[in-house]
Amino acid sequence: MSFVSDMVTTKNKINFGAGPAKIPEAVMERAHEEFLEYPGSGISMLEMSHRSKDFAEVLNTTEKLLREEMSIPNEFEVLFLQGGATGQFSAIPLNLKNDKESADYAITGSWSSKSALEATKYININHVFPPQKPYVTIPDESSWRKDPCAAYLYYCANETIHGIEFPKAPETIDGVPLVADVSSNVLSRPFSFENHGAVFGGTQKNLGAAGLTITIVRRDLIGNEHPLTPAVFNYAKMMKHHSVYNTPSVYSIYITKLVLEWIRDNGGVNSLRERNQVRWKWG
């Protein structure tokens, strides 16, 4: 079934929320059609076991589509987690600290600020530039104070509250991996994984419904987690169990699958970028 549709919405409100955000009408129609029974399963996706063959197919298809649409390199693992992007504020330092004493953080708004505050429970934080309120711009990178011994350099690709978006990823030094929160601009334009160690985002903004967090981690960085890392945030454990160590957000994964199919059928990420550029000019 194709998702290419010129259907006119029957809703009487326009959702401009950053998240949960609008889901394509064709995706909503498809979810409606399959609500009582996922095709051929005899059961609703809401009732489906996460150990079932049908769900395994949905999960594998979702990962395949995401890899294709984001051009994810083979050396990265895709994890389907819970706890929101906020959960990753803890999971990132717990999994990536290793034997490092500190991590670099670029504070450009509310979300990166909250992430840094949470990370201070587990690792020393180096602000690569002094946080500047009100957040209105990103300081020139030549002025950043980066630590060549940092565990990682963290940035939020797009700050929804303050409206600050990185035009491109920061530069890294001495192999320090980048960590990006891409919750609000994932698949709005092409993304380069070059120099990145981890990329994550909640799906409720660009990839579907609330309740699912997608975390993409370079495999060589997995396996050195803090011994007190909770199992559901343990990248090595979740990788070993293909994201079903515990019951995942089954229905949210299904919705993300439908959204990714819709993106594919409507021209992919380059088409979405063109649409966004047109809307930006309207603004």
Query: Which of 107, 79, 103, 83 has its CA nearest to residue 199?
Result: 79
**3-class DSSP assignment, residue 65:** helix
Cα distance between residue 208 and residue 252, in whole Å: 7
Per-position DSSP letters for 226-242, written without gaps between them: -TT--GGG-HHHHHHTT
Q: Which of 146, 205, 257, 262 is catalytic?
A: 205
Q: Which of 111, 147, 257, 262 is catalytic?
A: 111
| Contact indicator for 135, 114 with CB cutoff of 8 Å | no
Is 181 assigned a catalytic role?
yes
Q: Which of 146, 181, 257, 262 is catalytic?
A: 181
Is 205 assigned a catalytic role?
yes
Query: Which of 203, 222, 204 has its CA nearest to residue 214?
Result: 203
Cα distance between residue 233 and residue 211, in whole Å: 15
Q: How far apart are the first and last CA of the chain?
A: 34
Q: Is residue 195 exposed (0-12), middle (13-18) or buried (19+ Cβ within 10 Å)?
A: middle
The residues annotated as belonging to the active site are 111, 181, 205
